[in-house]
Structure 1
Amino acid sequence: MGSFILVLVLIISFFTDIKSRKILNIITLPTIIFGIIFNIYTGGVEGFFISGKGLLVGLGLLLIPYLLGGMGAGDVKLLTAIGALMGSSFVFYSFIYSALIGGAIALVLICKQKDFWQSMKKLLFNFTFFRGNLGSMVIDKNEKASRISFPYGVAIVLGTFCTLIWGGL
């Protein structure tokens, strides 16, 4: 039952994050509550601790990136809901897979950026011929367009599906 609810939540979150870049509270908060109640029902006091530990691990893994402005609160709540429903070990592996997938998505987006390959050519040329001022060619701190963002909930969903399919690393 827990896996069915998880898959349903993941599918809904995937589409809402792509469409509106939001992971809805109406999905994550009931999932957290359901996860706690379900684990208490199936495991008693031990189920409560499994759910509570998973909730705290899910929250803790993304809280600092959220506080630093690196992601939205919906991403944090989604990982928290996954932890409350499936436990700490599961949510930790989901986080690892999500980080790997998120990194791959970010790398693809960086490579697709217009000036990326031109900057790499300049950097390689200057490095090869020992020219100075290498850093200013790649990083322009004043240019806001250089920021790359994508709905990280997609990486969380795909990472969680990897955990469902393959388990821990």
Structure 2
Amino acid sequence: MLVIYTTLFLALIISLITDMKSRRILNIITFPVILIGIGFYSITQGWDGFFFSSFGFLTGIGTLLIPFILGGMGAGDVKLMGAIGAMMGSAFTLKAFFIIALLGGVISLILILRKKGFFNVMKLLYLMPLLLSGNPGLLNLNYQDKSKIVFPYGVPIVLGTLITMVWGVV
């Protein structure tokens, strides 16, 4: 198992660095990790290991597939989750995804508060039921700044995975 933990740890650190520097998670990192995971489990545990790793891979891909299709994240993030699944299996990947989603939400909220300001965000949250009522004419909100708030999602993926590895959260 030392091979699995070491390989995954190195892949996570490299992915964190490349995502923060260039906003890319490299295929040259994720693809070999996926193959190492599936190969290791297949060799050491036979068909059970193959299915363990393959289902983990599919679980990892599945967690971020819809956000990717909707344009909310890049393919590298999806492949990194697949690599995590191939190395650690489905159960671990789902636990890690819960922590990853929480971290991603907290980071997003902090970035929104920094950009829009606390009171503007609170005003929007307070008025959200009014917006959802279907009568937007009641509000005169200024939406001139349509720029997106984006950040490298590899950060919460790596942090959430490491937290799950260390503490076995959930």
Structure 2 counterpart of 1:164: 165
Find the aligned partners of 1:62 and 1:45 in 2 and give their Cα distance.
Answer: 26
Give, as a single letter, the amino acid of the residue that structure 1 aligns with 2:59.
V
Counterparts of residues 52-63 of structure 1 (less than 5 Å)? 52-63=54-65
- Sequence identity percentage: 53
Structure 1 partner of 2:74: 72
Instruction: Flag as ranges the 4+ runs of structure 1 deviating above 4 A.
Output: 120-126
C-alpha separation in 2, matches of 1:34 and 1:154: 23
* Partner Cα distance (1:30, 1:125) in 2: 48
Question: CA distance change for structure 1 residues 120 and 93 in 2, over 3 Å: closer, same or farther?
Answer: closer
Instruction: Tell me what 2:141 maps to.
Output: 137
Task: Letter of the 2:141 partner, please give it.
Answer: M
Contact 1:90-1:168 at 8 Å conserved across structures: no
5+ residue gaps, structure 2, are 128-136
Q: State the one-letter code of the partner of 1:78.
A: L
What TM-score does the superposition give when structure 2 sets the normalisation length?
Answer: 0.86
Superposed counterparts of 1:19-58, under 5 Å: 19-58=21-60
Normalized against structure 1, the TM-score is what? 0.87
Partner residue of 1:7 out of 6, 9, 12 = 9
Separation in structure 1 between the aligned mates of residue 72 and residue 35 of structure 2, nearest angstrom: 26
CA distance in 2, matches of 1:2, 1:125: 47
CA distance in 2, matches of 1:90, 1:120: 34
Residue identity opposite 2:68 in structure 1: Y
Displacement after TM superposition at 1:144 (Å) = 2.4
Matches within 5 A, 1:143-162: 143-145=145-147, 147-162=148-163
Deviation at 1:43, TM superposition (A): 1.1
CA contact (8 A) 2:113 2:121 kept: no
Distance 1:123 1:56 in 2: 38
Q: Secondary structure at the match of 1:144?
A: coil
Does residue 1:95 correspond to 2:97, yes or no?
A: yes
Give the C-alpha shift of residue 119 in structure 1: 2.4
Q: Please, what is the CA RMSD of the aligned residues?
A: 2.2
Count of aligned residue pairs for this structure pair: 160
